Chain A
Amino acid sequence: MFRIIKVTGESLSPTYQEGDYVVVTTIPFFLARIKAGDVIIFNHVSYGKMIKKVSTVSAGGGEFVVVGSHENSVDSRNFGTIPAESVEGKVIWHITGPRQ
């Protein structure tokens, strides 16, 4: 229903940084209503569990274009769209770590 996940990597920096935590909901009701701008957790066949921001949702809601905010982010520009079945959760709370 709810999970806490630790963020690694910097592709969503400066908003989400290495060591931050996010609380995600896995409730299907919320996952069925993912929209552009939401931050989601999904499983990628090569990269494993990832966190990215949704840029675009397909017409039927079955696929998402995901992006990072960093120029060198590995995201849909590299691996294409993410099917809805791969989505594990939607971020509902971002717990930031100490910033320098």
Chain B
Amino acid sequence: MIYKLIQALDKMIGFDQADAHCDIPCGIYDPSTAQIAALTVVRMMDLMAELEAKGGNKDVSYQNSMARYVAVKEEHAELAKQEIRVIWGDYIKAQHLEKHAGLHDLVHKIMQLGSKSRQTADRETGVQFVAAINQFAEIFWDTKGIATKRAKAPYAPALEMVYPNL
């Protein structure tokens, strides 16, 4: 009765809202998006190197392909950084940091490697980016009490990835 009265008043007046903030959808965190995005960065670096190695004219077709590879590399490096930032900022809690004391440093390293992967076409940097995010994924799954395994991705560039044992 009172609720319906207040609700009717709300429709007429529009009360302020206070957020009992909880990330929506609640509890859905997964580092796999970041891992795949980082892998895509290395794949784009490989495609860029292959295109360059072909030689020939740097014609419009070449420039178009190269521009597309660079654009996807940019996008996915930033996506990986964003995904890690969200998990780190919203999911990771004090008790996780107690167990994994180096997590802040690892996240900072991922941010730096992500930026460097955008700035350069250095494959080794991209590989380090993937490796650091894999390390983050191992910690993430450990906070869930879920064991992980390492296996090569079943697609190029076939780098070693961390997968949860679900």
A: which residues have CB within 8 A of B?
A: 3-13, 16, 21-22, 41, 47-52, 68, 70-75, 77-78, 95-98
Contacts and interface: CB of A to CB of B under 8 A. Distances in A.
B155 interface: no
Name the 5 nearest CB pairs between A and B, nearest first. A11-B22, A51-B18, A9-B20, A11-B20, A12-B20
A68 B21 CA distance: 8
Contact of B90 (A5, A74, A98): A74
Interface in B10-25: 10, 15-24
B22 A49 contact: no
Q: Identify the interface centre among B7, B21, B26, B93: most chain A CB within 10 Å of its CB.
A: B21
A10 B18 CA distance: 11
B19 A50 contact: yes
Nearest to B91: A72
5 contacts: A7-B18, A9-B20, A68-B22, A72-B23, A72-B91
B53 interface: no
A9 B3 contact: no
A95 B7 CA distance: 10
B10 A77 contact: no
B20 A8 contact: yes
Contacts of A5: 15-18
B20 A16 contact: yes
A4 B2 CA distance: 13
B6 A9 contact: no
Contact of A52 (B16, B20, B26): B20
Nearest to B28: A72
B6 A51 contact: no
Contact of B3 (A8, A48, A49, A95): A95
Contacts of B10: 4, 6, 21
